[in-house]
Structure 1
């Protein structure tokens, strides 16, 4: 079961006590009404913090697939309500929601949508449900391949607060744009339950997010101090405990909040993603999706790149999707240089993270280890990145540096557990971000 807001606030208070730094109080409920004019899409002014908007939460969209576990992406929805829980990294006095039909086969009809404060599971706090609007209307149609952003809503949120976004989809949607590995529970009900406070109608669950790709918060002065974590499953949080927000970007957001200065920290990891190759289940290659998933976010000042282990291992591992071509060290480095150039062209600082250990995992081989070592050596010593965070050494076993430390291993010798993701976030010098 997902922890309640009260439990989360207690945990944040404990973190505050341990660090001897007071955290900001989570915002109280305020009654708000939709703005009359539609808000511009979040891609209107990339990286400028336009209108004081910041990314509170994000997830990278993916094409429908059921490669690991059953989900709702391929069949889509019809006369169903989907309720999804997220946590914002920073707060504000306004909010708006981003929806994506990037991989849809036809127009997506959103009959209605609400935002509320999370209680427990699929239930929300009393009196907190607010209707969202799009261009002044409570419904909207998103063309295939396009995104939509709701109107600004007066809604006070605090850093590390959980929000519940509910979509009612009356007409058949066809295959759904989604984010496969959410490490969070989404809920589905038959019929229109967008305004329900309780969760009794939501009898089906899934560990993916559907259509929901962002929640932006605003109300302050424009800022360019947001951080995007860009990568694959280790950024996505695979191996962390579901419904606890224990991915490394979540832990990084908690570190910022503990200083008394919360920051926008957005997770744009996709499990299985590669820098240089498109895949049939893990998204477009990083050098392509970077512009849409990173550069279109408002107020971004820094991107942390942790990606490349799937480029190295996927051609030899087999068994997951269509095999991808072998990638040389030179090709992978060229891909990283492309990401750096794209970031710098928008005035965004690029921080390189070393690739974490693979010994004993399904990617383990002498060839793959030699490639990983070579790429890590380039990240550490080339000076191509503006700064480096050595996540390899942060989670490695001191007695066997090619292996992840047992205390940080989720069980597959590749993906960290909650403690491992916490160690990764702690390894980052907040001053370089």
Structure 2
């Protein structure tokens, strides 16, 4: 058994120059309104295999695991990392055992997270990696991320060293479980850019297993321009700036410290938040937004100011992103549109953010007189979330010099 370091001490481990290569924001276990997942039941005598893409490369790596919302100690029997093959398969000969304080197994207390030991495992930029976790004992409810937009696989027994045949392709989930980060070091890095937001940062509406969210597309764009930087995605679908939700994560003003400031070497944050605060004035989100106090533009702006103040206190460059259009979405209202316009005007003109990326103008339909609708070619179909092309347009709107 090990006593893992606190989240703050993990994030401040800079002696080896750790940089985040991939990350996600943890959430409270919930069945939620969007179909089944494995978070409430957790795992017993099962292996969970998850695939992620590293934004940058390095010679060494570690993984981060979270039991932030566990009801008791999380007993991890063991974990491996490998180079991804097809679906649940991994490349033969690439599986490596991960250790934690020198042991292949350990316990993460409730409310805590831990990092694995440093492992020499050369990683290339944009390489896909497969992490397999095995839990012989009941985990209890699992800290997870609902909209991973990537397939996770589950199998009975210890399948850490399986090359792929043990995982039933029908026993899958598009959420992620316990795994919240992969860090690398060993190559020069520029620090970490953190994309902090709601479902539009999270990539809802993009293709599963395609890495087409806007932070993914921005990572590819920076790599192609020979300006490599890791863009970590800490969006949570449904997340609100000012108020938490049992389904959609803690309030952004609360989770900013954990999901941005405690990332390894955070340098810049891109903030895209507020649309769910506006929507929840008129929509209860199938109970997920209750209680839901009515919010004003001034309150949303004050929430942004709090994020700016907290980021600047840590020397982080803060970039404000305008809220994207949503006319045609079932819960669109004229009053909500007025709030969106007020918040966007402040983001564009106040000068309080260090820079602005205008996602609103990047995806709005130029033929719409009010520019309140997303362009049809960029619409995933619900008139709120972009599709793959829309997320590419958002990434293209970011000026790399502002990062």
TM over 0.5: yes
Residue matched to 1:101: 67
Q: Deviations over 1:99-121 (max 9, x none)?
A: 00000000000000000000011
Matched, 1:84 2:50: yes
Matched, 1:414 2:384: yes
Matched, 1:431 2:401: yes
Matches within 5 A, 1:288-299: 288-299=254-265
Residue matched to 1:393: 361
Distance in 1 between the 2:274 and 2:182 partners? 28
Q: Which moved more, 1:147-156 or 1:253-262?
A: 253-262
Distance in 1 between the 2:244 and 2:146 partners? 16
Q: Deviations over 1:292-334 (max 9, x none)?
A: 1100011211000001000011131234324321111111000
Residue matched to 1:63: 28
Q: Which moved more, 1:37-46 or 1:303-312?
A: 37-46
Following superposition, the deviation at residue 201 of structure 1 comes to 3.1
Secondary structure in 2 matching 1:338? helix
CA RMSD, Structure 1 to Structure 2 (Å): 1.6
Name structure 2 gaps, 5 residues minimum.
none
Distance in 2 between the 1:260 and 1:49 partners? 24
Residue matched to 2:216: 250
Matches within 5 A, 1:25-424: 43-44=8-9, 46=11, 49-67=14-32, 68-203=34-169, 204-221=171-188, 223=189, 225-320=191-286, 321-323=288-290, 324-400=292-368, 401-424=371-394
Q: Which moved more, 1:141-150 or 1:357-366?
A: 357-366
Following superposition, the deviation at residue 136 of structure 1 comes to 0.2
CA 1:45–1:340 in structure 2 vs 1: closer, same or farther (change >3 Å)? farther
Distance in 1 between the 2:14 and 2:275 partners? 32
Distance in 1 between the 2:227 and 2:168 partners? 36
Following superposition, the deviation at residue 40 of structure 1 comes to 6.4
Q: Deviations over 1:77-97 (max 9, x none)?
A: 000000000001001000000
Matches within 5 A, 1:12-31: none
Secondary structure in 2 matching 1:55? strand
> Does the CA contact (< 8 Å) of 2:192 and 2:230 recur in 1?
yes
Q: How many residues align?
A: 396
CA 1:430–1:48 in structure 2 vs 1: closer, same or farther (change >3 Å)? farther
> Does the CA contact (< 8 Å) of 1:102 and 1:146 recur in 2?
yes
Secondary structure in 1 matching 2:71? coil
Name structure 1 gaps, 5 residues minimum.
1-36
Following superposition, the deviation at residue 344 of structure 1 comes to 0.2
With the length of structure 2 as denominator, give the TM-score of the two structures: 0.95
Q: Deviations over 1:238-294 (max 9, x none)?
A: 000000000000000001111223211100000000010011110100000000110
Distance in 2 between the 1:373 and 1:177 partners? 36
With the length of structure 1 as denominator, give the TM-score of the two structures: 0.89
